[in-house]
Structures are given as C-alpha cells and as structure tokens.
Structure 1
Amino acid sequence: MTGAATRRRLLAATIGIASLGALSAPTAQAQPAPKRIVATFTVLADMAQNVAGEAALVESLTRPGSEIHDYSPTPLDVVRARSADLVLWNGMGLERWFERFFSRAGNARQAVLTEGIAPIGIGEGPYQNQPNPHAWMSPTLALVYVENIRKALSDLDPANAATYAANAARYSDQIRAVDARLRESLARLPADRRVLATCEGAFSYLTRDYGLREAYLWPINSEDEGTPRQVRAMIDTVRRTRVPAVFCESTVNDRPMRQVAREAGARYGGALFVDSLTAEDGPAPTYLKLLEANAELILRGFFGSQATR
C-alpha cells in the first residue's frame, strides 16, 4: 500500500470512528484516533509511514519535488507541526530553516533521525567540515533511520510498540534486499571509471557504500551553484577520468551539468532523486523505488541501452 493510500484509509477510519462515536450510547468508549506524525520532507515521511503502518498517520511538510535545503515554511506548516503528536526531521544541517521554524511550532514533540550516525564531512565551500546531511542515501544508514523512527513512535505510543517493531523489522528486510540488488548492479561499473559525477555532493554515503568515487559541481545546495569555476573544474575531472556519463538531481537546475556533458564529451545521464520523492505516478514515489530508480539511471548512463537490472 502506498503512503497516500494509507493516509486516505487512516483518514477515512478516523472520520468513521468519530461518526460512530456520535451515534453510540454515552457509555460506549470512543476508540483513540491514530497519532499524527509530521516529517520535514517526503523521504522521511515515507520511511515513517512504513514503520507506522495503520497505527499512525504520517504527512510531509514538503511536497514531492520540493528542494529541502532552503525550503520556506508556510503558516499552514506551523499549524500542522503544532497540531502533530510528533515531528521528525533529519538534522545534520539539512533543514537550515527548521530551527527557526520550530521555535514557532510550540511545544511539539520531535525526533532527529540521524541520531547515532557518524557523518561524512563536507569537503569544501562555505559549509566545509560540517556534516554532509544526505545519510539516507546509504541503505545501510537508512536502517538507523528506521530504528530511530521505531523508537520515537514507541515512546510516543507505547500501546502500539509491538506493531511498530514488527513493521520496522519487515521494512528493514526490504531495505536490505534493495541494498543487495544495488550492490550487485553497481559492481558492473568499470573499475577504472567508477566515478559518480553529479551536481550536488549528495552521494558521499552512497558512493562509500558501493565503492565509487564522487565528483560534483558544488558540495551542497546553496546560492552558489553552477559557477564558471565549478563547471570548468568538473569538465577537467570528467575528461581526466573518462567518465561516460554525468548526472544532476531532480530538485535543482541541470543546465550547468548539461554544459559539462557537452564540453567534456560525456553523456548527460539524467536526474537522480535525493531530497524528494516523486508523485505516485513518477519513478520514485517511495524511498525504496528512489534507490532502485537511481541505480537504473546510473547503469543506463554508463552502458546506454545495454544496461539491465
């Protein structure tokens, strides 16, 4: 069941419970409404919904396709956070707007999902040596996210702790299965060209997992993106390493990387998914599909029409 389908089912159930309560005898005990969980962006919301199952309703502050780093919260976002039972966020400096936002969200309960993860430092630029926040791009570290979600939900709602534990275990097995498929697929990349060239340096954890080297135009999404100096440096890198394809991310402007591809004689492989899922009819409506869609795109970039899963 997709996250949206689950939310619709939970909403219908909540409305139904309320209607039954209005018609029942005064002595009847109303069923508790599902807990309401808010996550800062779609990837975390999908992870949380898989752990919550039908015991809680999860929604994302940002919509599919939104850029998370410099998101501007709306007054409605503040209302949603204030009324939530729990707010989940990534941390590691990803949601640079969050601390300012959260100060207006009252006393909402919160959990940081990167708790316990040793970060990789950003290598250059204005955020040098600060944590690279994209830890969810590693399936191995995604298991830490899942455990942190399970713990936060269980602490909030002990009555459903067994449900959260069972859901977390099942979802973790699914993540491990996708990890194994990605490891096998990406092992096909040529040993002398195992470089993932992208717009943002958002793949440090993924490249570490799968034995790739990382190259990027800018280290983290900010106002300084796609400068002539960044483009020239990437062109030189692509020519030197003979990388057959370069990529960008779905939430940023791909024009600088397309210029790199033209001038370096590489293929533009397309947009990878990082900070956001797609709508349900898109190629990455869930976190697991995001991982698989990225691996398929990388293989097609390197091998063209000969790429297979």
Structure 2
Amino acid sequence: MSHKVFLTGASGFVGSAVLRRLLADGEHVIAAVRRGSGALSSPVRTVAFESFEDDNAWEGALTECDVVVHSAARVHVMNDTEVDPLAAFRRVNVEGTLALARQAIAAGVKRFVFISSIKVNGEETQPGKPYTADDLPQPQDPYGVSKMEAEVGLQKLAQQSGLEVVIIRPVLVYGPGVKANFLNMMRWLDRGIPLPFGAIDNRRSLVALENLVDLVVTCIDHPAAANQTFLVSDGEDLSTTALLRRMAQALGKSARLLPVPAWMLTAGAKALGKGGLSRRLCGSLQVDTGKTRNLLDWHPPVKVDAALLAVARHYQENDKK
C-alpha cells in the first residue's frame, strides 16, 4: 500500500537516508527542509522553513499526507554555547514537535513516527542490564530531557485525538557520511596513529543507518507499531577495542591499539574535563531490542561488518583528507 509521507529533517544524516528509501519504495513524499540547507539529493516536493522554533504553518502540506516521519531536531552538541541549553532544546524538540503534531491531527494525519534518542533512557548501562523500551526514562542532559518531554507530549496528544504515535529511540547511528567522533576514529586508524584503546572491555550497542531506516519504514504502517516505543540496534554489541579493530579491517588497515587500562584513560579524561568522552569510549550502553523484534517481526537487514565496509568506502571516496 502506497503512503503519502510528510518527512522533516530530509536534508539531515538520518532524514536524507529515509527520503532515499521512501522514494525507492515508491512512496509519495513531501520533504520539510530548513531554508538555505541546500538542494536535496533526490528530486521531491519540498516545504521550506526557517526554524522549528518558528510558528510554522504546515497544514497545507499535511492535508495531502497520512503519515509524518519527524526526524528534524536540535541535536546534541558538544560544548553548547547557549546560556540556557534546556530552553533551546525545548523550543525545537518539544514545542516545535508538538506544534507539528497538533497540525497533523487537524489535517487528518493517521500516524506520527518520531525519531527520539536512547538518551531518554540514560547515558550508561551496567553489565548484563541493557536498557529496554519500557524502562523508566532517566535522561541526564538537556537533549535527552527535551526528547523525553516530546515523547510524553506526543503520547498525550495520541490519547486525546486518536493519532497513532510511534517512537523510535536509536543508539549511536553510523553510516556513509557519518561525522563527529566516528569520523575522527576512521581518520586516526587510516593514518596509522597509535591509539590507547587496546584494553577496553565495555559493550556498546550501535545501529547502522540502513538498519535504522528499515525500522522507520516498517513503522510507517505496521499495525502493531501504533502507540509503541521501540529501541533499535544492529543486534551485535561491541567493545570500543573490537569496534576499532573491525573498522580498521574495513579500511584495509592494521589497528595500532595500545593496551592502556580503562581506569587510566578515565582518570586522564576526567582530569582534562573530558569525562563525557571517556564514558562513551570506556563505558557500556546496551539495549535490548526484543520488543522491536518480537512485536514487529523485525530484524536488522545489514550486519555490522557490511555496514562498516560501506562507511569505510564512503570515507575513502569522499571524506578522506
């Protein structure tokens, strides 16, 4: 069955991949993009906006659609310069999201798929105790708080209106064109720089971009997805050490990893004011996707090594400096 999808964040890392998949599947898409963000890679009807903080009028486009996929957000940033970061996140991630949802209800949209974040659950898990979709939320930073508040607001709107809300909380997403720390790690490995990450016995859940997109598309019309929250990962959790070795293999390189104890890395990072970075490198964050797999009969179509190979190829062809 074909759908008419209103997609926000269509020029972003996740949104652009969702757009490509929807068009490949023959779906009708209207894409909401920030004005000045550049042309989309795929020809599609677009609706431009200045900011999700503005009082945007979406009704004209929404009346043509039966599903909203909302991937636009003020994303988590390091060294945020906002005087009140939580207020800044709330304006976009809470108020903007709920304004869109209210207009979707008024326009007769049937389903609202919201790309949230694992940060709603928290920042770190203990060994053998992965997060589940139905855990009590424990966000630790303004971004996570804003995503949680958006989820709560959407669920209330669903109860009041009959709008079907589907919430997806991804872990760290990687794929061709990935930026930030993931790209930095590839550069370090590609250049043969010795890294002090050869003795880290943590476990991190990750999700390949293609796997996340596949779940988003599944949630557009799966009957069992209505008014549910799902966690998503590749289904194979890796230590930082194992990830670096397999990333190096995908690059055709040898990983030069020095066996520095994790406690020493953590202490050094905290002394430099980089405690958050050490937690991501040395701490664990695992998710249990049993609900996603069982309720939706969904399984990630792409394995980790194949996904890493796609990232490595894109890096070598486009991002290598």
TM-score interval, smaller chain: 0.3 to 0.5
- Normalising by structure 2, we get a TM-score of 0.34
Higher normalized helix content (fraction of residues):
1
- Normalising by structure 1, we get a TM-score of 0.35
Report which structure shows greater RCO (CA 8 Å, sep ≥6). 2
Work out which of the two has the higher radius of gyration on C-alpha atoms and give 1 or 2: 1
